[in-house]
Amino acid sequence: MGVKQYRPTTATRRWQTVSDFKELTTDRPHKPLLKRLKRSGGRDGYGHVTSRFRGGGHKRLYRIIDFFRRDKAGVPATVRTVEYDPNRSSRISLVEYSDGEKRYLLWPEGLKVGEHIMAGPDAEVKVGNALPLRLIPPGVMIHNLELVIGRGGQLVRSAGGAAIIQAKEGTHAHVKLPSGEVRLVGMECWATIGQLGNIDHQSIVIGKAGRSRWMGRRPHVRGIAMNPVDHPHGGGEGKSGQGNPHPVSPWGWHTKGKKTRKDRKYSNRLIVKRRA
């Protein structure tokens, strides 16, 4: 696994980098675990744009990932493939359970094809196994972390992600997330052992605007470059930035420095340390 560079045959090739995809073992997904992915283009059910600068993008099929794993507790599985998923930054693995069922899981670094993994309280602490936090020793890297018992993994699911249990106190564990935030998580919540693969994802340089369009990102237009009817910053003769001392959104909301988080949010009491 690493980053691949090209010869500078064009201006964009000079800086563009891609993953070398050496960890992948197949380029054919498991068809029964695919489903159609409908693209919204940033629009709601009425066709109104609710998220600007989105649209286009390459066609993709969604891979159904098992973030839950509780219904397969105690059933051993064998890793069959390591695959690319166009819908996420991390890699995925196709595993086959001893009862014949196949599922996609997030692929942690170091998990090889042919290895056996298992979920449940009886599973040992090794890469790819899923266990309750009460059975995972402090200092072990984990991912696909549950926030609510039985809801499935919600945290630490992107490329290179890993959280660490710092301490255990009563019914909660102190978990340090990749952002630096330390949060209390229930002991009976499940997590998977290991650090997610594709660690070099953060080193990838897109290199050209067209590559952003492949991902469904349209150009982000500055408000000052718009007309007054479209944005509070628009209009004026030349580059007239003097008439808008306070940056605002198209709807007049302050966009820099104004706090938007609710002070009485339920999860506030579970945060031991804010992210840096």
Helix/strand/coil for 145:
strand
CB atoms within 10 A of CB 105: 23
Please give the structure tokens belonging to residue 209. Answer: 């605007």
Question: What single letter denotes the amino acid at residue 76?
Answer: P
- Residues 191, 145: contact at Cβ < 8 Å? yes
- Residues 192, 109: contact at Cβ < 8 Å? no
Which residues of the chain fall short of a pLDDT of 70? 242-244
- Residues 91, 24: contact at Cβ < 8 Å? yes
- Residues 156, 180: contact at Cβ < 8 Å? no
- Residues 84, 94: contact at Cβ < 8 Å? no
Please give the structure tokens belonging to residue 64. Answer: 């159904």
Q: Which residues contact 93 (CB under 8 A, 6 or more apart)?
A: 79, 80, 81, 82, 83, 104, 105, 106, 107, 111
Which pLDDT tens digit goes with each residue over 183-231? 999 999 999 999 999 999 999 999 999 999 999 999 999 999 999 999 9
Check whether domain 3-202+269-273 has CATH 2.70.150.10, yes or no: no
Transcribe 161-202 into DSSP letters: --EEEEEEETTEEEEE-TTS-EEEEETT-EEEES-BS-GGGG
Q: Residue 244: its pLDDT value, please? A: 61
Q: Which of 192, 189, 163, 187 is nearest to 177 (CA)?
A: 163
Q: Residue 242: its pLDDT value, please? A: 62
Q: Residue 258: its pLDDT value, please? A: 82
Q: Residue 263: its pLDDT value, please? A: 74
CB atoms within 10 A of CB 173: 23
Give this prediction's pTM.
0.91
Q: Residue 259: its pLDDT value, please? A: 80
Transcribe 38-97 into DSSP letters: ---TTB-TTS-BSSSSB------EEE-B----GGGBT--EEEEEEE--TTSSS-EEEEEE
**Domain locations in the chain?**
3-202+269-273
Question: What single letter denotes the amino acid at residue 193?
Answer: I
Q: Residue 243: its pLDDT value, please? A: 65
* φ/ψ (deg, to 5) at 271: -90, 115
* 193 DSSP β-pair partners: 142
Question: What single letter denotes the amino acid at residue 181?
Answer: E
